[in-house]
Structure 1
Amino acid sequence: MVYLILVIVVILLFLSCCRVVPQNNEGLIETLGKYSRTVKAGLVFVIPVIQRLRRVSLAMFPAEISKYSIITKDNAEITTSLTLNYLVTDSYKYFYNNTDSVKSMVELIRGHLRDIIGRMDLNDALGSTSKINSQLADAIGDLTDLYGIRVVRVNIDELLPSVEIQKAMDKQLTADREKIAAIEKAEGEAKNIELTTKAKNEALIATAKAKAEAVKTEADAEAYRINQLQASLDKASDGYFRNQSLDSFNKLASGPSNLIVVDKDDMTNLGAVPATAKIWQKSTDKKE
């Protein structure tokens, strides 16, 4: 019975000396309340009552910094919120150098963000989220090492102006859009007038060119006719012109006029004119 009790006591003492540090954790062993050493994941032996094991997770943690107000360089109030991921890089600093390293890290990030945005105008801040993220990551990179923490990623989820500023910005945006729309409408109308005027001018020019071409064509045709006629007349004999003269005399004699003017060279041909013959006959009858 005594042996059994001793075996049980030894087993209990052994078990009380055994501690397990989980995967992706580190263990801080304290001896009589004072830091002794850091151990890795696995089975760890400690002295009961005298020593104590504290576990620190090395896994990545997400964190959210709730909305808070920041004043810009031009005294505009904006509200921002952030999300970040961090992990413990030095379990000793994380546990012993600060009573709440995570809270200290959050306050540090807030302070640097206020400083960055406080040096920017409202419009610059609202349009430079990526730039602010980069500057903030550079600013807090070395300082958080004091707490044994490394910020892996920090991101500004939103930057919102106050309600009054948002209303003013909406009004300004509406006015700008209306102005742009009015300018575009005026430019469109001016362009339409320009194109219409150009089309009318081109039509007038085309019509004038067509008329000029028609007149030129008609003149060319008339000139060709006259040239052809002149060429034919140049080739005609004297008999042709005499015949034309006699034919003209005949036509005049057949008309109502009693006066005919002829060339002296054609006096011998008067007998061929009917009107002359009649006048001659009447003169002869009176004499008789």
Structure 2
Amino acid sequence: MDAPAIIGCAAAIGCLALAARAAVRVIRPHERGVVVRLGRPRVRTRAPGPTFVLPGVDRLHRVSLWTVVADVAAQDVITRDKVAVGLHALVTFHVVDPAAALFGVEDYQRAVPATARAAIRAAISRVDLGDLLANRADLNAALTGAVVAAVDDGWGVRVDRVQLEELGLPASLTRVMARQVRERHSVAGVTPALYVPSGGAAKPRVRAPAKSTVTWAGPRSPMDC
């Protein structure tokens, strides 16, 4: 075999190797693959492991099934009894339909927290401040239900839970609540005080009353009886 034939065979083998490499893709265990062929998504979702695509014809999209914990941006909300509170929450969700998550919404990882923010604001506006402070578990369950109802079913995403991380009260309301705590302790015979920790703001501290001195007016010993 002459040199040109050898070069031609080597080039053909190299092209076949490159084509095979381009045709074989690997999907990781936490992912599912969605193939789009000539602009049309294929019905079957590709499972983890090696999968074959047609180079130049197919386009493989990988969708993660990992649970996502997204931060809902802090916002000021007015409760039903007209009290402004600051809220910061976390929303937990995961993909249940990779094709819907890919084509049902532009970016589900941004759309879900944005929708949750609006749903939380609407839910808090229907609650009084007393109910907001009473039971955090019931509040989280109510917020989860509101976000689940707000997220579109066509997005292929399931909301697992919503957790309220921080609740900020107005400074005037905080002072009123602190005064009420001091009054209750005063009625109970405990004197509240304030202390300033190093590098921090003033915080309430309860000081126990001094030990009482009891004078025994009776006999000093049984022999005095």
Asked if TM exceeds 0.5, the reply is yes
Partner of 1:132: 139
Does the alignment pair 1:178 with 2:186? yes
Does the alignment pair 1:25 with 2:31? yes
Does the alignment pair 1:6 with 2:12? yes
Return the structure number with greater relative CO, CA threshold 8 A, min gap 6: 2
Tell me which protein shows more helix as a share of its residues: 1
Identity %: 25
Supply the distance in 1 between the matched residues of 2:154 and 2:175 (Cα, whole angstroms): 43
Supply the distance in 2 between the matched residues of 1:158 and 1:55 (Cα, whole angstroms): 35
TM-score (normalizing by structure 2): 0.73
Matched letter for residue 46 of structure 2: V
Tell me which protein shows more strand as a share of its residues: 2
Post-superposition Cα deviations, 1:77-116, rounded to whole Å, max 9, x if no partner, equal 1111112322111111111111121222112222222222
TM-score (normalizing by structure 1): 0.58
Partner of 1:120: 127
Partner of 2:215: none
**CA RMSD of the aligned region, Å?**
2.0
Matched letter for residue 30 of structure 1: V
Does the alignment pair 1:100 with 2:104? no
Paired residues in the alignment total 182
Does the alignment pair 1:69 with 2:76? yes
Instruction: Write out the 4+ residue segments of structure 1 that deviate beyond 6 Å after TM superposition.
Output: none
Supply the distance in 1 between the matched residues of 2:14 and 2:100 (Cα, whole angstroms): 40
Does the residue aligned with 1:39 lie in a helix, a strand or coil?
Answer: coil
Partner of 1:273: none
Q: 1:159 aligns with which of 124, 146, 167?
A: 167
The answer to whether the 8 Å contact 2:72/2:116 transfers is no
Structure 2: unaligned runs, 5 residues or longer: 1-5, 191-225
Post-superposition Cα deviations, 1:35-85, rounded to whole Å, max 9, x if no partner, equal 224211111111111211010011112222232111111111111111232
Counterparts of residues 25-104 of structure 1 (less than 5 Å):
25-37=31-43, 38-104=45-111
The answer to whether the 8 Å contact 1:116/1:132 transfers is no
The answer to whether the 8 Å contact 2:28/2:49 transfers is yes
Post-superposition Cα deviations, 1:108-130, rounded to whole Å, max 9, x if no partner, equal 22222222221222122112321
